[in-house]
Amino acid sequence: MTTIDRDFIAGLTLTEKASLVIGHDFWFTAQVSHVRPMMMTDGPSGLRKQSAGADALGINDSVKAVAFPTSALTACSFDESLLHQLGEQLGIAARAEDLGVLLGPGVNIKRSPLAGRNFEYFSEDPLVAGKLATAYVNGVQSQGVGVSVKHFAANNRENERFTSSSNIDERTLREIYLSQFERIVKEAHPATIMCSYNKLNGVQVSNNQRLLTDILRNEWGFDGLVMSDWGAVVDHVAAIKAGLDLEMPGKGQASIDEIVTAVKEGRLQESRLDIAVERVLKMVEKWQPATDQVQDYDKEAQHRFARQVADESIVLLKNDQQELPLHPNQETVAMIGELAAQPRYQGGGSSHVNAVRVVTPLDAKPTNVTYVQGYSLADDDSDAALFDQAIAAATASDRVIIFAGYPEEMESEGFDKTAMCLPENQNQLIMAVANVNPHVTVVLQNGSAVEMPWVNDVQAVVETYLAGEAVGEATWDILTGKVNPSGKLAETFPIKVSDNPTALSFNQDQTNENYHEGLFVGYRYYDKKHLPVLFPFGHGLSYTDFTYDHLEIKAGPDTVTVSFNVTNTGHVAGKETAQLYIGNQTSPVEMPLKELRDFAKVALEPGQAQTVTMVLPRRSFAWYNSTTGTWEADNGEYLVMVGSSSRDIRLQKSFNLTIGTDQLAKITGETYVHEIWQTGNQRIEEALQQSGLDQKLAALLGHGSDAIFANIPLRSLGMAGITNDQIQRFIRLVND
Ligand code: BGC
């Protein structure tokens, strides 16, 4: 039975109330009356529970916890049920450690491949981020542990993250940067949302009423708590008024005094403070762990699960002439690269975990694979002795596996990268080894996309991102074919960083980050520009092959159902992520060529086929109209594309949407001839006939001048000899 009610809050002193809306310390909420302090901890890929030496940047150690793969990799699983299980495991660990709220997942969009925190985020696409994070949140919360979904919103760079303003037009904000949060709020009801450090269109997010109250609560119906990112609050009184409930970690007594004084001086209504207090108390009441919690959990089982998650997510980017899988018992294999012995398996900053048992690729290697260091992670220049040793090993072996990636200093929370290149000594080594051995596989460990100047010289490339503490076992599972790879990229790898749509704006201005590219983020941009890319969004190979057929589209009263068959035509069992993209051919606004609207991962034995069915709601066809503040789905033609990646579309068909609205609701003098000519719309056809305008237009449009006359608004048809009376008659008839 709840003990938190209005009477209880009314009985608290002003000082007690003020102490509740800040952290008691770095990780705890305040203790007031019988309400015990509740602990929260990072997140998102393992627990970072600190007992002493608290910090928000992963500097001080925390209790041992399993380091699961980071979201950059788990996103490549495209597997909601796997993300749910991951959430459950994190919830189990958090509960055993007496935690109330886990600070994650991070769901910001990967706008630039240079953003320092991309490893912690899921995708360049809001549907992927939204669906996978929804599953993760449901998983954690099913264990009685709350989450804090972060960083709300538009925190897409690390440099000057506390002060820079993300300047974004409203439609782009809604469609690209908020829609994943919207889905999570509506479908997973997270305990809390963490507001981000930055400004949005000039207003600090921590006191942004439009974001924290109007959109989050009033539009989406969020009923949890809003906390600040650590140190994000600039003006606590303004923040409370805007809808922030809990400042973390707060400034102790100074914060309490500030709030008390503001209430006493009438600058903050006590009733407004009470709302924040009530939300803090309700959060604590709901998510506070019981005092008799079981303190142990099976960390070895979690390590095995971390391996499984990586197995299901690692992406085989390239595999010419079936270079992989390896057969180390039948061939000599050289393994080169310090990252095999000192792997990057997690990111730096607040998500840094004190891992339970790291198994490196060197630890997990099959017995007859030899290892040489090849390069030094501490230095970008080649070391002649290490280099020569690597060339000798590569020359003497049938096959070579080179481990390459970004060293830790290059990539972390807190700063952005300046280039998308591997250190020079790694690139040089790969090219030199490829010169002496025709069977080279590169295994990558990195938090985000990387340029590959050597990609045409090697036979295979395996992207393992930051694969968690079972990195070694999972990498060899894929290399040896123990596991058939099934990961797909959740971000595009451009050929070079300057191809990215943010190349002209990212980190160019210390105060303003201008999102000039609008909706055209990731594949939405590369596709529209018809730019070649290194590896497209959604790409990932398998040791088997899949074919697609039988595309069917059925429009129902509220939804559109798309179905098709996927068949495993190869010789081994495998999993395929089928992707459904929609191309809007109808709406009179800027549109990407295609946008991902659903995906499904299917497991198929050799020869097995499965029908995949996807049901699309009206929203899948909608764009955000910032003039009316509504999501509009326009009736008309749409292209349905089904494929194995965004650039490998196997089936496509267009169809007419009928569950949206008729765009031509009102015809005026501003309507263009092409909007009323041969539309197939009965109302328009009848009015054209009755007004006699049809014959006049037919005469004009029939002489090879279609484009000129189609591009004239009705009010200007006088210039083509049509009388104003006739035009007005048509407008009256069509609108009545
Ligand atoms: C990060 C958050 C994190 C918090 C607490 C901040 O620096 O941006 O993601 O949850 O610290 O460690």
Cβ neighbours around 356 below 10 Å, total: 17
> Residue whose CA is closest, atom 9 of ligand 1?
350
**How is residue 247 annotated by DSSP?**
B
Q: Which amino acid appears at position 388 of this protein?
A: D
What's the 305 CA to ligand 1 centre distance in angstroms? Answer: 26
- pLDDT (tens digit, 9 = 90+) per residue, 341-395? 999 999 999 999 999 999 999 999 999 899 999 999 999 999 999 999 999 999 9
Q: Whose CA is nearest to atom 8 of ligand 1?
A: 229
For ligand 1, atom 3, the nearest C-alpha belongs to 350
List residues bridging with 199 in a β-sheet.
Answer: 165, 204
> For position 5, what pLDDT does the model report?
84
Between the alpha carbon of residue 269 and those of residues 277, 278, 563, the distances in Å are 13, 15, 56
56, 478, 428, 21: which is closest to 250 by C-alpha? Answer: 21
User: What is the tens place of the pLDDT at every residue in 126-178?
Assistant: 999 999 999 999 999 999 999 999 999 999 999 999 999 999 999 999 999 99
Rounded average pLDDT over 270-287: 97
The Å distance, Cα 46 to ligand 1 centre, comes to 14
Strand order in the sheet with 40-42: 40-42, 101-103, 146-152, 192-195, 225-228
Cα 103 to averaged position of ligand 1 atoms, centre (Å) = 8
pLDDT band at 700 (very low <50, low <70, confident <90, very high): confident
**Percent of the chain whose predicted confidence (pLDDT) is above 70:** 99
Q: What is the dihedral of CA 616, 621, 624, 629, to 10 degrees?
A: -70
Task: Tell the residue nearest (CA) to atom 7 of ligand 1.
Answer: 56
Phi-psi region of 538 (alpha: psi -120 to 50; beta: other; left: phi over 0): left
Res 516: pLDDT: 98
Please report the pLDDT score of residue 707 as a whole number: 81
Distance CA 9, CA 33 (A): 11
Confidence of residue 701 (pLDDT cuts 50, 70, 90): confident
Reported as a single tens digit per residue, the pLDDT across 499-548 is 999 999 999 999 999 999 999 999 999 999 999 999 999 999 999 999 99
Q: pLDDT tier at 664 (50, 70, 90 boundaries)?
A: low
Rounded-to-integer distance, Cα 74 and Cα 310, Å: 7
Report pLDDT digits (tens) over 190-214: 999 999 999 999 999 999 999 999 9
Question: Do residues 73 and 122 make contact, with C-beta atoms less than 8 angstroms apart?
Answer: no
Integer CA distances (angstroms), 546 to 229, 343, 566, in order: 44, 33, 6
User: How far apart (Å, rounded) are the C-alpha atoms in residues 694 and 698?
Assistant: 6
Residues recognised as catalytic = 229
Q: How far is the CA of 60 from the centre of ligand 1 (A)?
A: 14
Q: How far apart are CA 21 and CA 249, in angstroms?
A: 10
pLDDT at 52 over 80: no
pLDDT at 291: 83
**CA angle 142-148-154, nearest 5°?**
135
Q: Which amino acid is at 369?
A: V
Distance CA 55, CA 48 (A): 10
Flag whether the pTM goes above 0.75.
yes
pLDDT range class, residue 295, cuts 50, 70, 90: confident
Using DSSP, state whether 87 is helix, strand or coil. helix
Choice between 662 and 712, residue whose per-residue pLDDT is larger? 712
Q: Where are the beta strands (DSSP E) in 592-678?
A: 595-604, 609-617, 622-625, 630-633, 636-645, 648-657
CB 309 within 8 A of CB 72: no
User: Residue range 93-115: average pLDDT?
Assistant: 97
Angle, CA 690 vertex, CA 688 and CA 693 arms, to 5°: 40
Rg of the chain in Å (alpha carbons): 28
pLDDT, tens digit, 9 for 90 and up, residues 565-622 = 999 999 999 999 999 999 999 999 999 999 999 999 999 999 999 999 999 999 999 9
**What's the pLDDT tens digit per position in 633-651?**
999 999 999 999 999 999 9
Q: Is 158 exposed, middle or buried (0-12, 13-18, 19+ CB in 10 A)?
A: buried
Q: Are 229 and 42 in contact (CB under 8 A)?
A: no
Atom of ligand 1 at shortest distance to CA of 43? Answer: 10
Overall residue count recorded for the chain in this entry: 736
pLDDT given at position 679: 82
Averaged over 288-315, what is the pLDDT?
A: 93
Say which residues have a Cβ less than 8 Å from residue 407's Cβ, sequence separation at least 6: 344, 377, 378, 423
pLDDT of residue 1: 42
**Among 28, 42, 156, 206, which residue has the most ligand 1 atoms within 8 Å of its CB, making it the best to mutate?**
42
Q: How many helices (H) and strands (E) does the chain have?
A: 21, 26
**What ligand 1 atom has the least distance to the C-alpha of 120?**
9
Go through 364-382 and write b for each residue having 16 or more CB atoms within 10 A of its CB, e for each that does not.
Answer: bbeeebebbbbbebeebeb
Pick the closest to residue 147 from 225, 216, 77, 82 (CA basis): 225
* Amino acid letter for position 728: Q
Distance CA 133, CA 135 (A): 5
What is the residue-averaged pLDDT of the chain?
95
Confidence of residue 87 (pLDDT cuts 50, 70, 90): very high
Reported confidence tier of residue 2, pLDDT bands at 50, 70, 90 = low
Q: For residues 167 and 173, what is the distance between their CA atoms, to the nearest angstrom?
A: 9
| Protein residue whose Cα sits closest to atom 11 of ligand 1 | 56
User: Residues near ligand 1 with C-beta < 6 Å?
Assistant: 42, 56, 103, 150, 229-230, 350
The answer for residues whose C-beta is within 8 angstroms of residue 211's C-beta and 6 or more apart is 152, 153, 195, 200, 205
Calculate how far, in angstroms, residue 488's C-alpha sits from the geometric centre of ligand 1.
28
